[in-house]
Structure 1
Amino acid sequence: MSKKALCIGINDYPGTANDLKGCVNDANDWSAELGKRGFTVAKMLDGQATKAAMISAIRDLISTAHNGDTLLFTYSGHGTWVPDSSGDEPDGRDEALCPYDIGTKGPLLDDEIGILFRSAGTGVRILLISDSCHSGSVIRGREDDLDVGKTRARFMPLSDWMPKDELPPAGAAAPRVVSGIRRTGGDLLLAGCKDTEYSYDTSFQGRPNGAFTYYALKTLRELKPANYDAWFNAIRQYLPSSRLTQTPQIMGSATARRFAVFA
């Protein structure tokens, strides 16, 4: 059984006014932590993370995985959406990740991610950790480490990458969190926020990071061997908070949520 990870972090979005600061740090931090936990890790940072390269890297990992293998994908960058053309989305939108070349190649749609993930063989476990997207309102978690005045939503407005003549009418609801994972079996999604929320790019003790990534890694390092539900509950001690109004989400079967973390 092998454990492999792909960590993607994109700060630089050429041709837009939406560059971020913490995403490359996120990818580097995930890579370092997962390496300590027995994963073989590949990284894609900024210009390496074109749409074609992301698809190719995900496909290669999945196509070479075998029964009992664990695949982990982390994404830190902008999220966005496009009008749904296939009729499979209740909200009328396809959610998407934003590759480095979104301005010329467009986003990576949840439908495309779903096709890739569904090609995994029997017994291959997939975990997607997505620190991107949308905004909420509950006030509670601790903010001891958080720097003041450094937050920015990780959402890419359509007007910043889509041609004007293709823009949909304004006023629809915010898109759901991108997943594409199977709802049964051993697959899991950990996401930085609710369907209607933003995940935030911010700063902790002078260093840029995504809020969800920072607290996910902080709690992971503090936990004794635990399952995904316990890890998720630990993250929720910090998010949402008064300045970080995002509510982390976990998606997967009850059985998968009780698996030991990264086992």
Structure 2
Amino acid sequence: MPAGISVHVGLNKVDPARYEGWDGALNACENDARDMAALAGAAGFSDTVLLTPDGTVDQVTGALREAAGSLGPGDILLFTYSGHGGQVPDTTGDDDEADSLDETLVLYDRQFLDDEVNREFRAFADGVRIVALLDCCHSGTAIEMPGAATPETGVRLMPPFRQQEIYARDQGFFEDLQRSLAKDSPNGETSQATALLISGCQDNQFSLDGDANGAFTGALLEVWDSGAFRGGYRSFHRAIQSRLPATQSPNLYTTGAPPPTFLRQRPFTV
């Protein structure tokens, strides 16, 4: 029988000591992680839930690596993240980012590059189904457009001025990390794991926070309807999209080459 492992990360704030005094306070990210873990548990997944202070780089990578060591062909990983999104310049010159910017998940202790997420996904055996649900800004096919108007409150966006300030402080670290990740890619080339992503918004939009859940996660839970939903991933995405305003339009894209049978499966099928 196939096995399912899920990892759920929800950060209502970050460590201000690591972000130049900014704590990134949000309302609903821990609720999102708990609710997604409950959904996954009901669908037959075992789960790891990492909330705020536990949402560190070491703990997130540790949970993903433990899952990679356990899952084989035909099994499934579900990875969900609710928190802030950010960006740093991509200095490797390998053309894997059209806008020369790497997306980041703003974890408790530092920003986690999209290339780091991809490295962890590549560690899974061929044939493992990977589903990622990211409820944060900068979560479309590319990162948010520089210079876009930023709402005052209620968005899961690391403020651009804070991104610039922290990047200036940590530029050497990120440049070394990006070079290391590029070298680790097979044949020295950029590669991607075979995975399916439903993100909280498009490139030039914001993912909204909320009182009980983020707007994206709340819509997802409504569509799922405690397991009553019966379509595939594409219809699942469209139904979530229909419940959100045009200012936040969730995106669906794949990396690698997920088989059509995977995309047609009912979401969260172990």
TM-score, normalised with respect to structure 1:
0.79
1:81-118 Cα offsets, whole Å, 9 max, x none, are 1110112311010111011112xxxx100111111111
Pair 63,164 (structure 1): closer, same or farther in 2 beyond 3 Å: closer
Structure 1 residue 154 and structure 2 residue 156: aligned? yes
> How many angstroms apart in 1 are the aligned matches of 2:132 and 2:244?
19
Structure 1 residue 41 and structure 2 residue 47: aligned? yes
- The residue identity in structure 2 corresponding to 1:198 is F
Q: Secondary structure at the match of 1:201?
A: coil
Query: Of Structure 1 and Structure 2, which has the larger fraction of its residues in helix?
Result: 2
Pair 101,127 (structure 1): closer, same or farther in 2 beyond 3 Å: same
> How many angstroms apart in 1 are the aligned matches of 2:58 and 2:160?
20
Tell me if the contact between 1:12 and 1:20 (Cα under 8 Å) persists in the aligned partners.
Answer: yes
Pair 91,167 (structure 1): closer, same or farther in 2 beyond 3 Å: farther
Tell me if the contact between 2:208 and 2:214 (Cα under 8 Å) persists in the aligned partners.
Answer: yes
> How many angstroms apart in 2 are the aligned matches of 1:126 and 1:26?
19
Pair 164,73 (structure 1): closer, same or farther in 2 beyond 3 Å: closer
Tell me if the contact between 1:192 and 1:246 (Cα under 8 Å) persists in the aligned partners.
Answer: yes
Q: Secondary structure at the match of 2:133?
A: strand
> How many angstroms apart in 2 are the aligned matches of 1:132 and 1:237?
18
Partner residue of 2:108?
Answer: 100
Q: Secondary structure at the match of 1:202?
A: coil
1:164: how far off? 7.3
Q: Secondary structure at the match of 2:78?
A: strand
Q: Secondary structure at the match of 1:47?
A: helix
Partner residue of 1:22?
Answer: 28
Q: Secondary structure at the match of 1:30?
A: helix
1:225: how far off? 2.2
TM-score, normalised with respect to structure 2:
0.77
Instruction: Give the gaps of 5 or more residues in structure 1.
Output: 137-149, 169-179
Structure 1 residue 214 and structure 2 residue 214: aligned? no
Partner residue of 2:69?
Answer: 63
Matching residue within 181, 195, 200 for 1:192: 200
Tell me if the contact between 1:201 and 1:209 (Cα under 8 Å) persists in the aligned partners.
Answer: yes
> How many angstroms apart in 2 are the aligned matches of 1:100 and 1:135?
18
Q: Secondary structure at the match of 1:251?
A: strand
> How many angstroms apart in 2 are the aligned matches of 1:30 and 1:229?
19
Matching residue within 227, 236, 240 for 2:232: 227
Identity of aligned residues (%): 36
> How many angstroms apart in 2 are the aligned matches of 1:218 and 1:67?
31
Instruction: Give the gaps of 5 or more residues in structure 2.
Output: 17-21, 141-151, 172-190
> How many angstroms apart in 2 are the aligned matches of 1:152 and 1:133?
11
Q: Secondary structure at the match of 2:210?
A: strand
Partner residue of 1:238?
Answer: 243
- Tell me the matched-pair count: 226
1:257: how far off? 2.3
1:210: how far off? 0.5
- The residue identity in structure 2 corresponding to 1:53 is Q
Q: Secondary structure at the match of 2:6?
A: strand
Partner residue of 1:247?
Answer: 249
Structure 1 residue 83 and structure 2 residue 89: aligned? yes
1:21-75 Cα offsets, whole Å, 9 max, x none, are 1000000110111111111111000001111111111121112211111100000
1:158: how far off? 4.6
Structure 1 residue 126 and structure 2 residue 127: aligned? no
Tell me if the contact between 1:135 and 1:197 (Cα under 8 Å) persists in the aligned partners.
Answer: no
- The residue identity in structure 2 corresponding to 1:153 is V
